[in-house]
Structure 1
Amino acid sequence: MTPHVAPLPLDWSKGTLASVLPSVADRLGVRRYAGKDVFELPAAPRAVVVLVDGLGHDLLLQRSGHAPFLRERLATAHRVACGFPTTTATSMGSFGTGLPPGAHGLVGMQVLDPQSDRLVNELSWEDGPDPRSWQPHGTVFEAAVNAGVEVTMVGPRYFEGSGLTTAALRGARFTAARALDERVTAAVSAVRATPKALVYLYWGDVDKVGHVHGCESWQWGDAVESVDGALASLVGQVPDDTLVVVTADHGMVDIAHENRLDLIDEPDLMAGVRHLGGEPRCIQLYTLDGATDDVAAVWRERVGDRARVLPREQVIAEGWFGPVEERVAGRIGDIVVAMNDSFAVVHSGLMRPELVRLLGLHGSTSDVELAVPVIVVPPRRGV
Structure 2
Amino acid sequence: MSILKPNYNDSIVNVSNSILKRFNVKNYHSTIKELDTILLNHKKVVLILLDGMGANIINHHLQDNDFLKKNMFKTITSVFPPTTVAATNSVLRAKVPYETGYVGWVQYFEQEDIHNIVFMNRDFYNDKKIVPNDLTEQYLKQPDIFDLLKEINPEMSINKIFPSFIEEGFETFDEQLVHLKTITDKNETSFSYVYWVEPDLTEHVQGIKSEQTKNMLRSLNNSLTNYAKSLDDDTVVVVIADHGLTDVEEINLMDFKDITSTLKRLPSIEPRATAFDIKNGLEGEFKDAFNKHFSGKYQLFTKSEFKESGLIGIGKKHPYLDSFLGDYMALAIDKYMFKLNDHKTYKSHHAGLLKDEMEVPLVIYTKKQ
Give the TM-score normalised by the residue count of structure 2.
Answer: 0.89
**Structure 2 residue matching 1:25: 3-state secondary structure:** helix
Take 1:34 and 1:6, find their aligned partners in 2: how far apart are those partners? 24
Take 1:275 and 1:129, find their aligned partners in 2: how far apart are those partners? 21
**Structure 1 residue matching 2:325: 3-state secondary structure:** coil
Counterpart among 55, 58, 81 of residue 57 in structure 1: 55
Take 2:49 and 2:278, find their aligned partners in 1: how far apart are those partners? 36
Take 1:11 and 1:55, find their aligned partners in 2: how far apart are those partners? 18
Take 2:33 and 2:242, find their aligned partners in 1: how far apart are those partners? 17
Superposed displacement of residue 220, structure 1: 0.3
Take 1:67 and 1:361, find their aligned partners in 2: how far apart are those partners? 28
- More divergent stretch after superposition (89-98 vs 280-289): 280-289
1:31-70 equivalences under 5 Å are 31-33=25-27, 37-41=31-35, 42=38, 43=40, 44-65=42-63, 68-70=66-68
Query: Partner of 2:164 in structure 1?
Result: 157
Flag the 1:6–1:302 CA change in 2: closer, same or farther, 3 A: same
Q: Is the 8 A contact 2:270 2:351 kept in 1?
A: yes
Flag the 1:236–1:312 CA change in 2: closer, same or farther, 3 A: same
Q: Is the 8 A contact 1:84 1:363 kept in 2?
A: yes
Take 1:325 and 1:103, find their aligned partners in 2: how far apart are those partners? 5
Flag the 1:11–1:30 CA change in 2: closer, same or farther, 3 A: same
Query: Partner of 2:326 in structure 1?
Result: 333
**Residue 370, structure 1, aligned to residue 349, structure 2:** no
Give the TM-score normalised by the residue count of structure 1.
Answer: 0.86
Identical-pair percentage: 19
**Residue 275, structure 1, aligned to residue 266, structure 2:** yes
Q: Is the 8 A contact 1:209 1:219 kept in 2?
A: yes
Q: Is the 8 A contact 2:28 2:95 kept in 1?
A: no
1:185-334 equivalences under 5 Å are 185-193=178-186, 195-256=188-249, 260-273=250-263, 274-323=265-314, 324-334=317-327
Take 1:381 and 1:208, find their aligned partners in 2: how far apart are those partners? 34
Q: Is the 8 A contact 1:155 1:178 kept in 2?
A: no
The structure that is helix-richer by fraction is: 1
**Residue 100, structure 1, aligned to residue 96, structure 2:** yes
Q: Is the 8 A contact 2:45 2:192 kept in 1?
A: yes
Take 1:218 and 1:157, find their aligned partners in 2: how far apart are those partners? 26
Structure 2 stretches of 5 or more lacking a match? 123-130
After superposing on structure 2, the runs of 4+ consecutive aligned residues of structure 1 that deviate more than 4 Å are: none
* Cα-Cα RMSD: 2.1
**CA deviation profile, 1:104-144 (whole Å, cap 9, x unmatched):** 00011112113223212123233364434422432111111
Residue-pair matches, total: 351
Q: Is the 8 A contact 1:66 1:224 kept in 2?
A: no
Take 1:32 and 1:192, find their aligned partners in 2: how far apart are those partners? 28
1:336-355 equivalences under 5 Å are 336-347=329-340, 351-354=341-344
Superposed displacement of residue 293, structure 1: 3.2
**Residue 25, structure 1, aligned to residue 20, structure 2:** yes
Take 1:342 and 1:192, find their aligned partners in 2: how far apart are those partners? 45
Counterpart among 83, 88, 94 of residue 87 in structure 1: 83
Structure 1 stretches of 5 or more lacking a match? 161-174
